[in-house]
Homo-oligomer: A and B are copies of this chain.
């Protein structure tokens, strides 16, 4: 655990200059607006260790799979987010000396991410070029105008003598990805131009061997400043403008930089991109920096009004949950059904930008609660729009129906590790389950009875083809899978996978009974096909152990050496950093809940005794080395009235990155795990469930907290739930009256 920021309710701030943990701080101070985002790297450059990462939503590159042992069904490339053209640059020299905090030592250093307003501010004093100056860097990625990034640089001369200051504002395509596969660059510069406080660059992702989309991106930067324009600074891959000021003692100079980003994702041709950039640049030119910032802040204010969680008595918990929501909203706010929630969002390269099952399994339940239903509906549409890709993925494996990818940008599987790609097929069930989850929560049947029915049918077809009948025991089985617990690879009859497969078939049959004729025609399920599905449902094998009264994670699991995690020497944890993959695979240690993930999905379908026995068996074997694990365990622990454990698990998830729990925050934030804090509080501590179109609560108050309060969206309403030592208070903030269930009693809210 490394904590690099102070505890504060709305701020991530520090006054410590901490170059050793700079990458961690860069990750944590990331900003984003769904359309693009960036790490909190320094605009003036830094010659020490840094990851200058800017990422553009939906812009990626297919990296050729370079393995000598190609087998049929392996994806041909590994899809990766690429580091954007860097348009943030503000290179500064003072009396000829380059500003670079790797060389000068800053004083009165302050780094502050204001989560309420989504503004990052960095300030420091520094002796440079024989003078002492104060620098303030501010930036925001506009939530109001998705194409806009604003920066403001303030320089104050604290010396007795004047300072000759030069600033180069540049757009630079000479960027690399750090990821080991790449020694290459991904941008071809198409055009650059420079005029009157404005520079532009158009670049295109380089050609690839797979015929996947190439992306054209355009950046248009305008500068407002009291400095003098000196001239342009250009080379093959970059374009910039140099400004100068002779800054007198005790005076201040300000430079505002506004960058517009437009891409071929929205506009097909270079002309259209240019036109749109011009249009937007014109619009923002007529407004002050403060105005642009204000619109951005207002948008964030609205977000917080609908979703804020207040915790009293535990300042760390308070900061943690706000940081979670802040980063989630920075990554995705449901405005564009072509985008999704990458496990690292816009905060790093690893897994960056691509879509995983995390979305359906973890993010959907949270967004249902914190945002309007259209947000999740867009997430569902994302998969519907990629159905063709899912057909391709299934066909590649020689299977019928739709196999949604484990990792994707465009619907086609783009991860090339076989044990992930075609073994972690539970994702197909999770994607089906999200449709059910959305429908249950929102009451909106229109999706499931139309697009949803198609998706469900094709997923059901996949499952029906993927199972096999085992003559040996007269049941249907699913061989060769990896469940949510990736520490057991290529197993047979993963209970979770089999459960979801059976459930999908059953739910699909239910939905098919309700669809209109035109939809029925489209999905074209014959009665023989239905009958076959029913036969599978009735005879699906789900491994259980009658002796222990538990569900068995997979065949053979109980043969392992079942010593609890607590028996392992502390220095061997985390296992994935200390054990060989061989040793991990053979061990009984569970990366993230697997049987327990299934119990969480269908939490109302199991008896307390069943839940208890499985929790007591599996939790002690679980190492929680997936960041997605703790939240699920927190909810289940709460459900089982293991309140202390529920809180402990909450703490692990809510401050995962703020406290660098897994020792990998430097790589980027665990964006999809940011859902964990909300799940733990709302589903866990408050016991929120939706049963038969009604909200249910069964809250408890964590021991160290004095109270907590959250707001929740539900079917056009905003409901506020306040829990303190004495009582639970439910309040309807907006929307029509409804009745909810509190600890088994009906409460009318109006």
Mask of A646-667 contacts with B, CB within 8 angstroms, 1/0 = 0000000000000000000000
Q: Which residues from B are CB-within-8-Å of A422?
A: 580-582
Closest to A555 in B: B556
Is B555 touching A555 in the complex (CB atoms < 8 A)?
A: yes
Q: Which of A692-723 contact B (CB under 8 A)?
A: none
Is A470 touching B561 in the complex (CB atoms < 8 A)?
A: yes
Known contacts being A67-B67, A397-B583, A398-B579, is A559 close to B180, with CB within 8 Å? no
Is B480 touching A396 in the complex (CB atoms < 8 A)?
A: no
Bound-state Cα–Cα, A577 to B73, Å: 11
Is A581 touching B473 in the complex (CB atoms < 8 A)?
A: no
Known contacts being A556-B555, A561-B471, is A581 close to B180, with CB within 8 Å? no
Bound-state Cα–Cα, A78 to B67, Å: 9
A72 within 8 A of B: yes
Closest to A72 in B: B580
A591 to chain B, nearest CB (A): 12
Mask of A532-555 contacts with B, CB within 8 angstroms, 1/0 = 000000000000000000000001
Q: Which residues from B are CB-within-8-Å of A471?
A: 561-562
Is B468 touching A580 in the complex (CB atoms < 8 A)?
A: no
Is B417 touching A69 in the complex (CB atoms < 8 A)?
A: yes
Contact with A68, one of B180, B397, B492, B585 (Cβ below 8 angstroms): B180
Is B580 touching A396 in the complex (CB atoms < 8 A)?
A: yes
Q: Which residues from B are CB-within-8-Å of A181?
A: 66-68
Known contacts being A555-B555, A581-B418, is A479 close to B560, with CB within 8 Å? yes
A225 within 8 A of B: no
State the interface size on chain A (CB cutoff 8 A).
52
Q: Which residues from B are CB-within-8-Å of A577?
A: 72
Contact with A581, one of B73, B489, B580, B585 (Cβ below 8 angstroms): B73
Closest to A64 in B: B180
Q: Which residues from B are CB-within-8-Å of A492?
A: 556, 559
Bound-state Cα–Cα, A373 to B397, Å: 49
Is A71 touching B477 in the complex (CB atoms < 8 A)?
A: no
Is B561 touching A468 in the complex (CB atoms < 8 A)?
A: yes
Q: Which of A473-509 contact B (CB under 8 A)?
A: 473, 477, 479-480, 489-490, 492
A576 within 8 A of B: yes
Mask of A65-81 contacts with B, CB within 8 angstroms, 1/0 = 01111111110001010
A179 within 8 A of B: yes
A472 within 8 A of B: yes
Contact with A560, one of B69, B78, B468 (Cβ below 8 angstroms): B468
Bound-state Cα–Cα, A479 to B66, Å: 29
Contact with A480, one of B397, B423, B480, B582 (Cβ below 8 angstroms): B582
Q: Which residues from B are CB-within-8-Å of A581?
A: 71-74, 418, 422
Q: Which residues from B are CB-within-8-Å of A586?
A: 468, 479-480
Closest to A562 in B: B471
A617 to chain B, nearest CB (A): 13
A210 within 8 A of B: no
A606 within 8 A of B: no
Bound-state Cα–Cα, A68 to B74, Å: 15
Q: Please list the residues of chain A having a beta carbon within 8 angstroms of any beta carbon in chain B.
A: 66-74, 78, 80, 179-181, 396-399, 417-418, 420, 422-423, 468-473, 477, 479-480, 489-490, 492, 555-556, 558-562, 576-583, 585-586
25 pairs of residues in contact across A and B, judged by CB atoms under 8 Å:
A66-B181, A67-B67, A68-B78, A68-B179, A72-B577, A72-B578, A73-B580, A74-B581, A396-B580, A397-B583, A398-B580, A418-B582, A468-B560, A468-B561, A471-B562, A473-B559, A477-B559, A479-B559, A479-B585, A479-B586, A489-B490, A490-B585, A492-B559, A555-B555, A555-B559
6 more A-B contacts (CB under 8 A) besides A72-B576, A396-B580, A477-B559?
Answer: A67-B67, A70-B180, A399-B583, A470-B560, A479-B556, A480-B586
